[in-house]
Structure 1
Amino acid sequence: MVPPLPGPLAHLAPLLGHYGYWAVGAVVLVEDFGVPAPGETILIAAGIYAGAGRLDIVAVAVIAFAAAVVGDNVGYLIGRSGGRTLVHRWGRYVLLTPERFQKAEEFFTRHGGHIVTVARFVEGLRQANGIIAGTGGMPWRRFLAYNALGAALWVGLWATLAFVAGTHITALYDEITRYRLYTLITLAVLAAALIGRRVLRRRHEN
């Protein structure tokens, strides 16, 4: 029997424990056509669960890959059929404001089609790159190839790292707990130093 997951990961048990692979597929899918869902977080959590023996890592990776590709293609169809008008009218309901979309589109245009692959690893672009590609008129086959490559790299990286972490999850949490006090003190000192520096700079400017 697999022991319960320690620390804050225990709070994720109801979602992944009840819905399992469906949760992974659904969250990754909707994130990839613009909905602000925690797709990357659910992938990492599922990978950790797999490492701890709760899920099968191959199934997690396959489902996440398929959901990522399908989700981005839904976004591509939205961009291709509705264009900027649709984004400007409804985008704000999923936090895709015209300003945010314009910045992502400018970045996309500046770096060319291969950015579809890299966009998978960039927050904001991951959610909007399919819509931008469709709006910009990128040929679908080209988009599909770049998108599939990006999805494979993204899923492969996070699923592998999370799976390895999951196989040592108890030891990792023991180390985190042991050094938590020192970590908090270090962060407090750094925060105080940054605040002090800002105060001194403002006084100097005045």
Structure 2
Amino acid sequence: MSGLIGSLTAAVGGSFGELADAAARFGYWAVLLVVAGDGVFPLFPGETAIVAAAVLAADGTLSLPLVIAAGAVGAVIGDSTAYWTGRRGRGPIRRGVVKVAGAGRIEAAERMVARQGAALVLAGRFLPGIRIAINLSCGAGQMSYRRFLLFDSVGAVLWSTQAALIGYFAGKAFADKPWVAFGVAFAVMAAVGAVIGVRERRHVRRQRAAASSEKEPATPS
């Protein structure tokens, strides 16, 4: 399975036929596991796995609805893991996740969750930089798990569907050139991610600045 994950995410070397054969055997499980890992450690390329599998679905190697389902289930598993890591408080796992997410993002996420609540959980699926911080903050006492699960599930389905459709339509548009389809799909995802990343960083900076101003003692008049 590790070989398949490497093929799906790197999309280099070998022939398309070999990749398709591997995907037919392990594709859905690979997508689920990679996306679940991405929910806790963003070094796992969750969006990439879904896009790659969806490109393969364009020629019938995989089923598009099952690719979407695998991505959504993996997303919920990963996000729930982050939620319960936040709920359990201190510990080596939490310290590791906090280190990955960054203390600044955690602080910003706590303020954002307190103000926007469930809507932020849904939108958080589309914010890779601060996603883990949001889920940790929800688990740390900002939201019940039942409410979190409801909105996170909706966000996971929408997020997985968006990534899968990009890959699927690229695969259809370049049906005779599968590697071109991979390249186009990944380029689109990278462009969307770059725009989201810029807006996300600006919002995090605003939240951190607001938090700093609130901590400053008032000067006597």
Q: Do both proteins adopt the same fold according to a TM-score greater than 0.5, normalized to the shorter chain?
A: yes
Gaps of 5+ in 2: 1-9, 185-221
Q: How many residues align?
A: 167
CA drift of 1:83 comes to 5.2
What are the Cα deviations for residues 45-90 of structure 1, in whole angstroms up to 9, with x where unaligned? 1111111332221221111111111221111111111259863x32
User: Does the 8 A contact of 1:31 with 1:38 survive in 2?
Assistant: yes
Q: CA, structure 1 residues 114+83, in 2 after alignment: closer, same or farther (shift >3 Å)?
A: farther
Return the offset for 1:22.
2.0
Could you tell me which amino acid in structure 1 is paired with residue 68 of structure 2? A
Mapped contact 2:85–2:139 kept (Cα < 8 A): yes
Q: Distance in 2 between matches of 1:55 and 1:67?
A: 17
SS at 1:136's partner residue? helix
**Cα distance between partner residues in 1 of 2:12 and 2:172:** 15
- Determine the C-alpha separation between the residues in 1 that align with 2:90 and 2:119: 21
Bigger drift between 105-114 and 133-142 goes to 105-114
In the TM superposition, 1:16-55 aligns within 5 A as: 17=22, 19-55=26-62
**Equivalent in 149, 154, 157 of residue 152 of structure 1:** 157
Between Structure 1 and Structure 2, whose CA radius of gyration is higher?
Answer: 1
Greater shift, 44-53 or 164-173, is seen at 164-173
- The secondary structure found in structure 2 opposite 1:124 is coil
Q: Report the alpha carbon displacement of residue 27 of structure 1 after superposing the two structures with TM.
A: 0.7
1:91 aligns with 2:97: yes
Higher relative contact order at CA 8 Å, sep ≥6: structure 1 or structure 2? 1
2:145 paired with 1:133: no
Structure 1: segments with no counterpart, 5+ residues: 1-7, 178-206
- TM-score of the aligned structures, taking structure 2 as reference length: 0.64
Q: Is the alpha carbon distance of 1:53 and 1:63 closer, same or farther for their aligned partners in structure 2, counting shifts above 3 Å?
A: same
CA RMSD of aligned residues (A): 3.1
